Amino acid sequence: MNENNKLLISVKGLDWNYGEDRVLENVTLDLYSNGFYGIIGPNGSGKTTLLKNISRSLITKKGKVFLSERDITEFSNKELAKKISYVPQNTNLEFEFSVTDIVLMGRSPYLKRFQCESTYDMGIAKYAMQVTDIWHLRHKNIGMVSGGERQRVIIARALAQQADVMLLDEPVSQLDIHHQIEILEILKKLTEDNRLTVVMSIHDLNMAAQYCERLILMDKGRIFKEGGPHEVIVEENIRRVYGLNAFIMKNPLTDKPHLIPLRKTW
């Protein structure tokens, strides 16, 4: 991070349990403005639970989350929605709305009760749909689009929210390779234009290394390693966290680490 990046989110000593199961344990993390962060780790390592605590979908009894040095529990729902948008892993929608209606829901934090969207709001929604390549779907019923298209609709809704931070839980898991790269390129550009901090969980380590400025490697509810891709994607870390022997080379085109899995160690 350069000296112009401001501290946006601080996670301090965060614990989270589901019943008797400890999911997060003493997680401490700082996230800065205009950064592109990837949270990686095996299934069950706590990635989704961490994102939900940062978004205030879950509220811990032990530890704190601060947004711009203010306890996140002190924000009203509308205040928080103007600061943080969240794209969940499950994008199933059970109601009969058009794609445009769904994207315009991202403007609700800026509207008063019973207030209709303005031309300005419609313009923001149009931009969000264009950059996520769903403008041609704008009149379609959300129930009539594919899973990958629906994922892009939800990302467009989050873009329309115009928050400072976008949290995404495996945003490209349902997309083909073309749209994976398209979405990651969009998110990368938004951070580079000094408009957005992106924090996403992602399973594809090579995609994470290529696009993310910082990686947070989680294991059994703890942060095992945090740093740049070259610091995190190393053979010893992969062996210890994933139980996998891997060969890691430098991508000759991007200079980023590229992982080739070999065999399980346990």
* pLDDT (tens digit per residue) in 80-118: 999 999 998 877 776 789 999 999 999 999 998 888 889
Query: Confidence class of residue 172 from pLDDT cuts 50, 70 and 90?
Result: confident
How many Cα atoms occupy the beta-carbon half-sphere of 240 within 13 Å?
A: 12
Q: Is the pLDDT of residue 141 over 70?
A: yes
Find how far residue 116's CA is from the centre of its chain: 29
Query: How many whole angstroms separate alpha carbon 60 and alpha carbon 54?
Result: 10
- DSSP structure string for 134-190: -GGGTTSBGGGS-HHHHHHHHHHHHHHTT-SEEEEESTTTTS-HHHHHHHHHHHHHH
- DSSP structure string for 34-67: T-EEEEE-STTSSHHHHHHHHHTSS--SSSEEEE
Q: How far is residue 121 from each of residues 128, 146, 150, 162, 166, measured CA to CA in Å? A: 11, 26, 21, 11, 19
Higher pLDDT, 182 or 39: 39
Average pLDDT over every residue of 168-193: 87
Average pLDDT over every residue of 166-185: 88
Q: Is the pLDDT of residue 3 over 60?
A: no
Q: CATH 3.40.50.300 in the chain: give the residue spans.
A: 1-76+164-177+190-230
Q: What is the pLDDT of residue 2?
A: 58
Q: What is the pLDDT of residue 164?
A: 92
Which residue in this structure is represented by tokens 């928080």? 80
* pLDDT (tens digit per residue) in 18-73: 888 889 999 999 999 989 999 999 999 999 999 999 999 998 889 999 999 999 99
Q: What is the pLDDT of residue 151?
A: 86
Query: How many whole angstroms separate alpha carbon 174 and alpha carbon 228?
Result: 26
Q: What is the pLDDT of residue 69?
A: 92
Average pLDDT over every residue of 143-148: 85
Average pLDDT over every residue of 164-184: 89
SS3 content of the chain, % helix, strand, coil (to 5): 35, 30, 35
Cα angle 83, 87, 90; round to 5: 150
Higher pLDDT, 46 or 189: 46
Average pLDDT over every residue of 2-16: 87
Q: Does domain 1-76+164-177+190-230 have CATH number 3.90.1170.10?
A: no
pTM of the full structure:
0.92
Q: What is the pLDDT of residue 254?
A: 92
* pLDDT (tens digit per residue) in 202-245: 999 999 999 999 999 999 999 999 999 999 999 999 999 999 99
Q: What is the DSSP letter of 204?
A: -
Q: Is the pLDDT of residue 135 over 60?
A: yes
Query: Confidence class of residue 200 from pLDDT cuts 50, 70 and 90?
Result: very high
End-to-end CA distance of the chain: 36
